[in-house]
Amino acid sequence: MKAIMVMFDTLNRHMLPPYGCDWTHAPNFARLAERSVTFDRSYVGSMPCMPARRELHTGRYNFLHRSWGPLEPFDDSMPKMLKESGVYTHLVTDHYHYFEEGGATYHQRYNSWQFARGQEGDPWIGQVANPEIPETLPNTRAHGPMWRQDWVNRGFMQEEGLQPQAKTFAMAEDFLRRNSEEDNWFLQVETFDPHEPFFTQEHYKALYPHRYEGPHFDWPNYGKVRETPEEVHHLRMEYAALLSMCDHYMGVVIDLMDELDLWQDTLLIVNTDHGFMLSEHDWWGKMVMPFYEEVAHTPLFIWDPRCGKQDERNNALVQTIDLPATLLDYFDVELPAAMQGRALGESLATGAPVHEAVIFGLHGAQVNLTDGRYVYMRGPASEDNRPLYNYTLMPTHMRGRFPPSELQETALAPAFGFSKGCALLKIPAQPKHTSPSHSFATSLWDVEADPLQTSALQDPALEARLAEQMRALMQESEAPAEQYQRLGL
């Protein structure tokens, strides 16, 4: 048996044809839906990038205990478990967060890995002289060393084949051509695209002709929309162009599966970590606003050769934590006791439900719950969003270690059930590392009747029921005691 996971970063469900979008050019995602099961109720778990990838390894929620960080010494890693069970695992990626201190223990869990450099200000090309940078809008990421470095990198990507996404899928094709006749392997193909900045080649932009005469704009700030309608439209077209590039390379994988006859014995999972706000609800980005459907409700496609179901919809409520369980189950590897995710094989075959309800969120922000119809966003009970701690043995932020100033009040907390007897460092979370989304009040939405979330519900009885369901799921997750206090639960 073989398996391929194609993971895009920041892939918006509502901009894909299989989910009802009629204006983006993405024919290969439509082909994918014809060859697989399309999940209609797939949600994020922990946000954003590396918290989601920890879930992809462990099948456990990250966001209740800590923020962005590496795998912990006690974590059960799906690729490592496959490797130890005789399944060869290989990662091809251009996702540079794996190679920062806050993500530095993930890629080593595979038998082998390859990295294409140059995404989003990755410190790749050394250049003393300043690059030529066009004028841009004021409310953008056009500040600081990342912006400068990104334009250095772009100078070395004047052709599509030189872009990291193209290199990543070329490495994937090489692996598949060399190993298609071998057995017992898992290939994870992961591209940072269509994450911002929305940089791609002119032939993809030409798919979306529009009039725009303003400054360069392909990298929005995370925050409220301050741009004109013309600028907003332009940025949405820039995202769509990059989405179409992703669609092209999705087609490369489908074509390879046809050519190499991989459909017979190869599981295919196509997923993302989260979506992105492109002016919906008057927001850009993610994390700084409530987790509206545009961010939290994700696309997911799976082909499972064991059941052979294709061109079907699945209404089961699923999450990122279910994907490692699905892969372990597919290769007949026993799931670890601490794994919260559930294998999706039965649901793929029969449409059986998976979860009655799930929780999702960002460390220190609102805790969210959905049962597939309602979304309940629980805000903190106090303005200072306290108490809040990180529980970790790997105290790092995205791009660096916790400085000594953040470690002054560190205590040792007793082991959790999932930490294999290891006590953890209990470190007070710093306000500067807490998302501003914690400041939003509790809200309740009926996303079945109101999928665009235009009108919040006022239903105390329903809220009480969902709050109790949230409490139960937090207890199953061994949420620290102060999380209930922080949320007024």
Determine the pLDDT at residue 142. Answer: 65
212 and 122 assigned to the same domain: yes
pLDDT in tens, 40-57: 999 999 999 999 999 999
Contact indicator for 165, 246 with CB cutoff of 8 Å: yes
- State which of 356, 388, 421 marks the end of a domain: 356
Residues 6+ away with beta carbon under 8 Å from 250: 6, 28, 29, 32, 270
pLDDT of 38 reads: 98
pTM over 0.85: yes
Distance CA 341, CA 343 (A): 7
Task: Assign 14 to helix, strand or coil.
Answer: helix
Residues 235 and 220 sit within 8 Å (Cβ to Cβ): yes
**Are 296 and 390 found together in one domain?**
no
Residue where a domain terminates, one of 356, 383, 402 = 356
The predicted structure's pLDDT at residue 434: 66
Share in percent of the chain as helix, strand, coil (round to 5) = 35, 20, 45
Decide the pairing of beta strands 266-272 and 301-303: antiparallel
Cβ atoms of 279 and 17 closer than 8 Å: no
Helix (H) or strand (E) holding 472: helix 460-476
Q: What is the pLDDT of residue 239?
A: 98
**How far is 2 from 182, CA to CA, in rounded Å?**
9
3-state secondary structure of 379: coil
The alpha carbons of the chain give a radius of gyration, in whole angstroms, of 22
Residues 31/17, Cβ–Cβ less than 8 Å: no
Task: For the chain, give the number of residues.
Answer: 489
State the Cα angle at 121 between 392 and 117, rounded to 5°: 85
Closest C-alpha among 88, 54, 84 to residue 68? 54
Instruction: Residue 156: name the closest of 126, 129, 177 by CA.
Output: 126
Whether residue 307 sits in one domain with residue 363: no
Helices marked H in 77-180: 78-84, 144-154, 164-179
Tokens matching residue 398: 């995205």
pLDDT tens digit sequence for 139-157: 777 667 899 999 999 999 9
- Tokens representing 77? 């890693």
On the 0-12 / 13-18 / 19+ scale of CB atoms within 10 A, 217 is buried
Q: Let me know whether 151 and 290 are in one domain.
A: yes
Q: Do residue 121 and residue 233 come from a single domain?
A: yes
Residues 339 and 447 in one domain: no
Choosing from 304, 326, 356, the residue where a domain stops is 356
pLDDT value of residue 431: 73
CATH code of the domain in which 261 resides: 3.40.720.10
Distance CA 92, CA 79 (A): 13
The structure tokens 């639960």 sit at: 489
pLDDT (0 to 100) of residue 437:
66
**Mean pLDDT by groups of 10 residues along the chain of 489 residues:** 98 98 98 98 97 98 97 98 98 97 96 98 96 86 82 96 98 98 98 97 98 95 95 98 98 98 98 98 95 98 98 98 98 98 98 98 96 97 92 96 96 98 96 70 97 97 98 98 96
Same domain, 313 and 338: yes
| Tokens describing residue 334 | 């026993």
Does residue 133 share a domain with residue 30?
yes
Percent of the chain with pLDDT over 90: 95
Question: How far apart are alpha carbons 98 and 50 in whole angstroms?
Answer: 8
The predicted structure's pLDDT at residue 246: 98
Query: DSSP letters of 323-342?
Result: HHHHHHHHTT-PPPTT----
- Asked if 337 and 437 sit in the same domain, the reply is no
Domain match, 228 and 278 both: yes
Q: Same structural domain for residues 398 and 298? A: no
Residue range(s) defining the domain that contains residue 109: 2-356
Nearest CA-CA partner of 5 in 105, 79, 111, 58? 79
On whether both 436 and 457 belong to a single domain, the answer is yes
Number of domains in the chain: 2
